Amino acid sequence: MLGCNNSDHSEDSVQLISEFALIPHVYQIEDSTGTINMGSMLEIVWNNNPNETLKNQIFNQWHEIQSNQRQGQSTKLEIIIDIDLDLPHQEAYRLEIHQEGIIIRALSQEGVYRAWQTLRQILYLSRDEKIGCGTILDFPKYDYRGAMLDVARHFFSVDEVKRYLDQLAWYKINYFHMHLSDDQGWRIHINSWPLLTQIGGTSQVDGGTAGYYTQNQYQDIVNYAAERFITVVPEIDMPGHTNAALASYAELNCDNTKRELYYGREVGFSTLCVEKEITYQFAEDVIREISEITPGPYFHIGGDETHATPEDDYILFINRVMPLVGEYGKTVIGWDEINLGELPPDAIVQYWASAQNAINGIKKGAKVLMSPSSYAYLDMKYDSLTPIGYNWAGYIDTQKAYSWTPETLVEGIKKENIIGIEAPLWGETITNSQELEFLAFPRLLGYAEIGWSEKEDRRTWEEYKLDLAIHGLLLEELGINFYRDPKVNWLTESD
Ligand code: ACM
């Protein structure tokens, strides 16, 4: 076993690894004596399974941070992937910082990637090249730690989406839910229904240049996410929130009349024609084509706010559509209203509005994805002065966003019922990356911690906000347009 020697023990200014402001907070961290110089070239050694993409990513990102330090002795990073390691989770890792080098031990490449995010934060946040030695053991509390982006109300380009994925990766978010269709726009090309994008892809809230992803572009996003060990969850919202489809194809309407494209912000006025067979052909074609280019396990059918669909029709519709998702090899996710249907045994109900809906889902055997709108909706304003966003679920400042616990929020939704948490960002009021980031950051860091960090003793706002203040430096460095919540004493470069 490598050891840190004591030669630098007298340097009391050395930053100990237990002092780093890691978000999400890690499970266990122990300092040991000695120091390591991180400010140099990186030499990566794999014990097995060298993954060139992952290796290049780590190598390049190390050198982005240590760009001034290319000369001198190398820092050695040994990566050991071994399924027999004594680690409790697929994403778990042990990060050992020794005098002679750094070792990451993990069961999978995913675990290595999560460890790299921890190390990357340490590199970014270190005051000096030299830091104290020590060991971190870490693994997630919840398997699903997601962010949703609504690209339907306003279209976001492939590059804008990639920018967000890069930001999510830092905080160990591992699912990216894309809300790909709504009343205002249809954003993914479907070969068997080409007018969906030719017509339905041209509109968005308030007009302006909208757009859609070709299937190649969607796959580019999926692959980019996968390189960051983030799984894309596509959503096609049905049977409501479908005006863009109804404006593209007359036959999806009960009266065989195309709807006008919609540029407003109302919800709950559109519905597919549930009694027509063509509606199910449409649903199946869309589910098939998207599932074929989606490697992840989930397909989200929406199912929310179907005020224009009588309840019996709604139940009929989802009872026909949910099994189609299974036929194309995916697990169905839907907003909490889908509890009304006959849920497939592996279904996931996304709790956003009604706890009772989620509990009903649990009674039918479903798991719950926690997105309670009054805590986890990134499109809610921070306070009355926030220039963008909504407040129908209340104001959510950074403290409120952080100060809840999925398994104690609702009586009847227990830890074993919960697959994880997701922070949705609806797009009515955001038109570009700057606005997206203003609503997502810094709240997203809190959601990342709620989803990842097990230790409840850490989960106090008073402690967390000190670490968050330090992450302001990182967010600034990354060029993220974050909201400087006045409850946090943000550090600046001169502090
Ligand atoms: C939703 O916010 N309509 C799921």
Q: Which amino acid is at 254?
A: C
The CA–CA distances, whole Å, from 159 to 94, 218, 415 equal 33, 11, 36
Q: Please give the mean pLDDT across all residues of the chain.
A: 94
The predicted pLDDT at position 266 comes to: 97
pLDDT tens track for 171-226 = 999 999 999 999 999 999 999 999 999 999 999 999 999 999 999 999 999 999 99
**Which residues are 146's β-sheet partners?**
175, 422
- Token pair for 28: 């266990």
pLDDT tens track for 102-154 = 999 999 999 999 999 999 999 999 988 899 999 999 999 999 999 999 999 99
For the chain, percent helix, then strand, then coil, each to nearest 5?
35, 20, 45
User: What's the rounded Cα separation, in Å, for the pair 109 and 51?
Assistant: 8
Rounded to the nearest angstrom, the distance between the alpha carbon of 167 and the centre of ligand 1 is: 24
Rounded to the nearest angstrom, the distance between the alpha carbon of 352 and the centre of ligand 1 is: 7
- Is the CB of 352 inside a 6 Å radius of any atom of ligand 1? yes
The predicted pLDDT at position 40 comes to: 78
Rounded to the nearest angstrom, the distance between the alpha carbon of 377 and the centre of ligand 1 is: 9
Residue among 149, 235, 270, 304 to mutate when testing ligand 1 (max atoms within 8 A of CB) = 304
For atom 2 of ligand 1, the residue with the nearest CA is 352
Active site residue 305: yes
How confident is residue 36, by pLDDT bands cut at 50, 70 and 90? very high
Rounded to the nearest angstrom, the distance between the alpha carbon of 171 and the centre of ligand 1 is: 24
Average pLDDT of 456-473? 90
Average pLDDT of 365-390? 98
Average pLDDT of 85-91? 96
Which listed residue (305, 422, 428, 437) is catalytic? 305
Q: Residue 238, SS3?
A: strand
Is the per-residue pLDDT at 349 higher than 70? yes
User: What's the rounded Cα separation, in Å, for the pair 190 and 353?
Assistant: 30
Rounded to the nearest angstrom, the distance between the alpha carbon of 353 and the centre of ligand 1 is: 8
Atom of ligand 1 nearest to the CA of 335: 4
Rounded to the nearest angstrom, the distance between the alpha carbon of 117 and the centre of ligand 1 is: 31
The predicted pLDDT at position 68 comes to: 61
How confident is residue 69, by pLDDT bands cut at 50, 70 and 90? low
The predicted pLDDT at position 115 comes to: 98
pLDDT tens track for 299-324 = 999 999 999 999 999 999 999 999 99
Q: Identify the burial level of 385 via C-beta atoms within 10 angstroms of its C-beta, where 0-12 means exposed, 13-18 middle and 19 or more buried.
A: exposed
Residue among 153, 179, 305, 333 to mutate when testing ligand 1 (max atoms within 8 A of CB) = 305
For atom 3 of ligand 1, the residue with the nearest CA is 304
Average pLDDT of 23-46? 93
User: What's the rounded Cα separation, in Å, for the pair 42 and 438?
Assistant: 34
Atom of ligand 1 nearest to the CA of 352: 4
Atom of ligand 1 nearest to the CA of 373: 2
Is the per-residue pLDDT at 10 higher than 80? no
Atom of ligand 1 nearest to the CA of 267: 3
- Is the CB of 377 inside a 6 Å radius of any atom of ligand 1? no
The predicted pLDDT at position 494 comes to: 63
Atom of ligand 1 nearest to the CA of 426: 2
- Is the CB of 304 inside a 6 Å radius of any atom of ligand 1? yes
Atom of ligand 1 nearest to the CA of 241: 3
- Is the CB of 305 inside a 6 Å radius of any atom of ligand 1? yes
For atom 1 of ligand 1, the residue with the nearest CA is 304
Nearest to 231 by CA among 351, 323, 112, 147: 147
- What are phi and psi for residue 53, nearest 5 degrees? -65, -45
Rounded to the nearest angstrom, the distance between the alpha carbon of 267 and the centre of ligand 1 is: 9
The predicted pLDDT at position 390 comes to: 98
H or E stretch including 111? Answer: helix 109-125
* Portion of the chain with pLDDT greater than 70, in percent: 96
Is the per-residue pLDDT at 2 higher than 60? no
Is the per-residue pLDDT at 3 higher than 60? no
Average pLDDT of 22-47? 93
- Return the ∠ at Cα 110 (arms to 114 and 167), rounded to 5°: 50
The predicted pLDDT at position 67 comes to: 72
- Give Cβ neighbours of residue 456 (< 8 Å, ≥ 6 apart): 405
Rounded to the nearest angstrom, the distance between the alpha carbon of 305 and the centre of ligand 1 is: 7
- Is the CB of 182 inside a 6 Å radius of any atom of ligand 1? no
**Which residues are 136's β-sheet partners?**
29, 95
Average pLDDT of 10-37? 90
pLDDT tens track for 249-306 = 999 999 999 999 999 999 999 999 999 999 999 999 999 999 999 999 999 999 999 9
